[in-house]
Structure 1
Amino acid sequence: MTLDLFSALAGFALVTVITPGPNNLMLMASGANFGFSRTVPHMLGITLGFPCMVLLVGLGVMQLFDLWRPSYLILKVLSVIYLLYLAWKIANAAPPKDAKTEGKPLTFVQSAAFQWVNPKAWSMALSAITLYATSRDFPAVLWVAGVYVAVSVISTISWTVLGQQVQRFLKDPGTLRKFNIFMAVLLVATLIPVLWPGDEQGGLAR
């Protein structure tokens, strides 16, 4: 991979991971409700889980979907259901002082698995492979996945710290409740591109 191509890939990857989306909104909410240290497994699940998804997608997972077209619709339905469930959990999160016993942030496995039903993750993975690993050979795909590991570290830390800092203004349970509902609404709003009319694959790739 040339330096120019690598620079373009790094810029593309950073922009796609650091902009608002399901992962980042959930990290911010987790940072606000549970603090930085308890959100670390969630962060690692994204940092390692998404690049693994990129790697598998680049090495041929999408070909399996192409063999059975209804799988796109099934993936879309699963994405909607799980995101609505996560939005409900965020909206009903316990106050920080109660979260240690009542609330639980996403685990590493849950966070990594979520990437497979995250519409934005699919869009990012498909775009990155199409643009920067056109040959679909292992070294090219590995480069893309490796860059995403690096930029994901920056993104996950940034959004979790942002949520942690916001926590200072959410001491009042009522204010925290409003914040959590607002974050849940934003998370549900990320479903708009998925539910927008279009073909099954397009709904996931926008």
Structure 2
Amino acid sequence: MTPDTALALIGFAFVMSISPGPGNFLLLASGANFGFRRTFPTVLGISLGFLSMVFLVGIGLGEVLDRFPAVTLALKIACGAYVLWLALKIGRSRALGPSAPDRIEKPVTFVQAALFQLVNPKAWAVALILTVSYTSEADYLASLVAMIAVFAVVNIPSISVWAISGTALRGVLAKGNRIAAFNVAMAVLLVGSMLPVLLRG
């Protein structure tokens, strides 16, 4: 990878990682409800799940899904149901604190966050752009791995900003019914950001 390509990739990775999307809304909500330390496994799950998707798309997953549309449909339905269930859990949470009866019990796990990327339309779009734009045909596999490594270095700190921002809001949201309104807003944004993939086709 040339220095110019690496610099362009770093810029692209930063913009795509820091911009709003389903995963970042989830991290914002998790940071607000659980704090950064408990949300960090979710950060890693979202990042490594996405990077695994990039690798699988790079070695041909996209072509497989194109050839078997029934698999794609089943995956979309299963993941769509999970997103709606997750949004319902977030939206119904009304309080902060371990003893609060109407709070989310625990953050999204590492594995759940990684699997969440399967129904994230932003993740699919970015994965396809990366594998087409930042790999070299002459040494494809090595360039794919190098590209994933560079993206990871930028992605993890960038998406962590959303979890940190949620954590910073905890003091404000703990007053009155603010956390309830915040969680409803996060649930609506989560579902809204998923509609393109859930309704397409």
Q: TM-score w.r.t. structure 1 length?
A: 0.87
Tell me the equivalent position of 2:8: 8
Tell me the equivalent position of 2:147: 144
Greater shift, 175-184 or 106-115, is seen at: 106-115
Give yes or no for the alignment of 1:61 onto 2:64: no
Give yes or no for the alignment of 1:23 onto 2:23: yes
Map 1:158-169 to 2 at 5 A.
158-169=161-172
The percent identity for this pair of structures is 42
Deviation at 1:112, TM superposition (A): 1.3
Instruction: Give the counterpart letter for 1:75 in structure 2.
Output: L
Residues of 1 paired with 2:70 and 2:176: CA distance?
Answer: 44
CA 1:42–1:89: 2 relative to 1, 3 Å? same
Residues of 1 paired with 2:189 and 2:99: CA distance?
Answer: 22
Retained in 2: the 8 A contact 1:57–1:125? yes
Deviation at 1:77, TM superposition (A): 2.6
Structure 1: gaps (5+ residues)? 201-206
Residues of 2 paired with 1:45 and 1:163: CA distance?
Answer: 17
Residues of 2 paired with 1:196 and 1:53: CA distance?
Answer: 21
Tell me the equivalent position of 1:90: 90
Instruction: Give the counterpart letter for 1:34 in structure 2.
Output: F
Tell me the equivalent position of 1:180: 183
3-state SS of paired residue (2:185): helix
1:108 alignment partner, one of 104, 107, 110: 110
Residues of 1 paired with 2:4 and 2:183: CA distance?
Answer: 42
Tell me the equivalent position of 2:81: 81
Residues of 1 paired with 2:115 and 2:7: CA distance?
Answer: 29
Deviation at 1:19, TM superposition (A): 0.6
Tell me the equivalent position of 1:131: 133
Retained in 2: the 8 A contact 1:43–1:156? yes
Greater shift, 188-197 or 144-153, is seen at: 188-197
Q: How many residues align?
A: 198
3-state SS of paired residue (1:97): coil
Deviation at 1:27, TM superposition (A): 0.4
Retained in 1: the 8 A contact 2:94–2:179? no
Runs of 4+ in 1 over 6 A off after TM superposition: none
Deviation at 1:93, TM superposition (A): 2.5
Residues of 1 paired with 2:196 and 2:151: CA distance?
Answer: 23
Deviation at 1:63, TM superposition (A): 2.2
CA 1:32–1:80: 2 relative to 1, 3 Å? same
Deviations 1:111-150 (A, max 9, x none): 1121122222111111111111253821111122112211
Retained in 1: the 8 A contact 2:119–2:197? no
Map 1:23-42 to 2 at 5 A.
23-42=23-42
Tell me the equivalent position of 1:47: 47
